[in-house]
Structure 1
Amino acid sequence: MLRWTITFIIIAIIAGVLGFGGIAGGAAGIAKICFFIFLVLFVLSLIRGKR
């Protein structure tokens, strides 16, 4: 999941540099969603691992 986040961040940066604002915004939005899903799953796995 973290790998997808990094991929979309890189796509957003490249699209932003090249002037594709809509694509950069979309990729950044997807990266945010993937990152928050990753954080939730990570915290849940930490909690389950302690039990």
Structure 2
Amino acid sequence: MLGLILVLLLVFLLFGLGFAVKVLWWVGLVVLAIWLLGFIARGTNATGSRGRWYRW
């Protein structure tokens, strides 16, 4: 009985990790797309020179 519980816990743990990794891949792709769009679409600032689109 204890072995069955341990196997079920392992299955749920691996399923949860797989789901989390898949979600993190999608989040990473969205962040990358936003960064690339901001990098490409950066315009000129008030002085006419090219500015940064982020504030670091």
TM-score range, shorter chain: 0.5 to 0.7
Structure-1-length-normalised TM-score:
0.61
Q: Which consecutive unaligned segments of at least 5 residues does structure 1 have?
A: 1-18
Q: With CA pairs under 8 Å and 6+ residues apart, which has the higher RCO, 1 or 2? A: 1
Once residues 30 and 22 of structure 2 are traced to their aligned partners in structure 1, the CA distance between those partners, rounded to angstroms, is 12
- Which of the pair has more CA radius of gyration? 2
Give the superposed CA RMSD. 0.8
Q: Which consecutive unaligned segments of at least 5 residues does structure 2 have?
A: 38-56
Aligned residues between the structures: 33
Identity of aligned residues (%): 6
